């Protein structure tokens, strides 16, 4: 299911990415690439507004298409234009917390996900995986004294006490 995203609106809800960062768009696109890849080739279209005009298209790829509005006020217009152009409304989702964008998406019958909810999805997907020790992974337990003695016998290791008892 393709997703249309209000880029700067989403960045405002992400932890670790700030709208003040000079590369905030690139940081979001990297998160979206991981998302698209993890969701088996999901198509993501992200529209950015204000601050970056004529940004290079090198952000496109891995299922993500990044577009930059010509002026800050044009981003919502671009999102609304794309929403109105959707042919298969049951296939698209819109990610935004902007009331006007949400209103247009709902009027068209598209599924809307708030930027806050989608930011949470991205953060969960990109959270570092907890490390597990080999013992936990195998569900091992410590060996009992009898098991240790058996292994030592199998490998021909004799403890000092046993050496002293032998004639």
The CATH code for residues 3-126 is 3.40.50
Estimate the share of the chain in helix, then strand, then coil, as percent rounded to the nearest 5.
50, 15, 40
Given a contact cutoff of 8 angstroms between Cβ atoms, the answer to whether 45 and 68 are in contact is no
Please give the torsion angle defined by the CA atoms of residues 119, 124, 127 and 133, in that order, rounded to the nearest 10 degrees.
170
Q: What is the pLDDT at residue 75?
A: 83
Predicted TM-score (pTM) of the model is: 0.72
Q: Is 48 helix (H, G, I), strand (E, B) or coil?
A: strand
Q: What is the pLDDT at residue 140?
A: 65
Q: What is the pLDDT at residue 56?
A: 58
**Arithmetic mean of pLDDT over the chain:** 84
Order of strands across the sheet that contains 111-113: 64-68, 44-48, 3-6, 93-95, 111-113
d(CA 112, CA 4): 10
Cβ count within 10 A of residue 61: 12
Q: What is the pLDDT at residue 22?
A: 85
Residues of the chain with pLDDT under 50: 53
Tokens describing residue 84: 């109105």
Cα maximum dimension of the chain:
96
Given a contact cutoff of 8 angstroms between Cβ atoms, the answer to whether 45 and 2 are in contact is yes
Domain with CATH 3.40.50 in the chain: 3-126
């Amino acid at each position: 299911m393709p997703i249309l995203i209000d880029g700067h609106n989403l960045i405002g809800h992400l932890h670790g990415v700030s709208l003040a960062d000079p590369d905030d768009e690139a940081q979001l696109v990297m998160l979206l690439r991981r998302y698209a890849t993890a969701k088996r080739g999901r198509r993501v279209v992200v529209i950015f507004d204000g601050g970056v005009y004529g940004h290079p298209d090198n952000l496109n790829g891995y299922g993500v298409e990044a577009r930059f509005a010509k002026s800050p006020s044009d981003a919502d217009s671009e999102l609304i234009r794309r929403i109105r152009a959707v042919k298969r409304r049951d296939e698209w989702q819109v990610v935004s917390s902007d009331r006007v964008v949400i209103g247009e998406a709902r009027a068209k019958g598209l599924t809307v996900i708030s930027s806050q909810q989608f930011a949470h999805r991205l953060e969960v997907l990109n959270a570092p995986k907890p490390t597990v020790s080999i013992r936990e992974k195998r569900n091992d337990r410590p060996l009992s004294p009898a098991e240790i003695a058996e292994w030592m016998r199998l490998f021909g290791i004799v403890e000092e006490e046993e050496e002293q008892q032998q004639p």
